[in-house]
């Protein structure tokens, strides 16, 4: 069975990649693209999610904005259509306020399979190391810091440490020559350092240390096409997952 997809935010950088990448799968079909801006080469382009026909769409993939994704979620909830949301700046609480508990929604800060696995590996390692810090590096057009992926990674490690009844050793730094030099503190008081430079896409290092040894878990997305396979996985899964699924971890 071919899954019929509408892509919202199709004129944007990520939207264009999703349209191209998802079209390459035999079991997925892009039936409509949605954006207030014209989508070059689109044969079925509409300017609003309200212009969609629920009978023609199985899943809506949204890489627009927080406001745009909220409108998408409300339309999907009313029309019984599943949604995969990759728009940044939207929290699980905001999603729950826009849809009822029976809506089928996958919300993820990162659709890279490698990034999700790196987060899982970091959580496995966290109870065995006394200290850990995160360095996340992104392109210079990214507006938020730290990244959602780094926050999720810190949270996963903090949960693993609490389950193992292990706490993070206190930071030995007692004097900051420059305020903020030690980064921001994520969950579990794990330092997160954000880098924004042209030429980067999405990269993260989780650096562990204990007496006599260290461990670094690094993931690199060299191109935004790395997110397509994760979105395809979410599209295939979302209609069988009532409620809100946050992140891809449960799907892998």
82-85/213-221 β-pairing: unpaired
Which own/partner pairs from 96-104 qualify as long-range (CB within 8 Å, at least 24 positions apart)?
96/244, 98/70, 98/73, 98/74, 99/73, 99/74, 99/244, 101/242, 101/243, 102/242, 102/243, 103/73, 103/76, 103/77, 103/242, 103/243, 103/244, 104/238, 104/239, 104/240, 104/241, 104/242, 104/243
Contact 111, 230 (CB under 8 A): yes
Considering 139, 142, 193, 203, which one is annotated as catalytic? Answer: 142
142 carries an active-site annotation: yes
The span from the CA of 252 to the CA of 112, in Å, is 11
Q: Which of 4, 138, 139, 193 is catalytic?
A: 138
Question: Catalytic residue at 138?
Answer: yes
Q: What are phi and psi of 117, to 5 degrees?
A: -65, -40
Tokens matching residue 88: 């940044």
In the chain the first and final C-alpha atoms are separated, in Å, by 21
User: Which positions are catalytic?
Assistant: 138, 142
């Amino acid at each position: 069975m071919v899954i019929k997809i509408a892509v919202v935010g199709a004129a944007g950088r990520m939207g264009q990649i999703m349209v191209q990448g998802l079209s390459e799968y035999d079991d997925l079909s892009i039936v409509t693209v949605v954006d207030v801006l014209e989508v070059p080469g689109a044969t079925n382009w509409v300017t609003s999610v309200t212009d969609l026909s629920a009978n023609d769409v199985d899943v809506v993939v949204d890489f627009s904005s927080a406001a745009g994704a909220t409108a998408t979620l409300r339309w999907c909830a009313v029309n019984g259509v599943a949604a995969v949301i990759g728009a940044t700046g939207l929290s699980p609480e905001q999603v729950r306020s826009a849809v009822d508990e029976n809506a089928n929604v996958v919300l993820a800060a990162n659709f890279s399979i490698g990034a999700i696995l790196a987060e899982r590996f970091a959580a496995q390692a966290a109870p065995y190391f006394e200290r850990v810090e995160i360095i996340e590096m992104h392109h210079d057009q990214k507006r938020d810091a730290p990244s959602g992926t780094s926050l999720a990674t810190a949270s996963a490690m903090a949960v693993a440490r609490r389950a193992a009844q292990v706490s993070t050793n206190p930071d030995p730094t007692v004097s900051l020559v420059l305020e903020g030099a030690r980064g921001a503190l994520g969950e579990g008081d794990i330092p997160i350092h954000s880098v924004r430079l042209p030429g980067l896409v999405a990269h993260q290092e989780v650096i562990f240390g204990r007496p006599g040894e260290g461990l670094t878990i690094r993931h690199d997305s060299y191109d935004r096409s790395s997110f397509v396979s994760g979105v395809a996985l979410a599209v295939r899964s979302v209609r069988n997952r009532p409620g809100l699924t946050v992140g891809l971890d449960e799907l892998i």
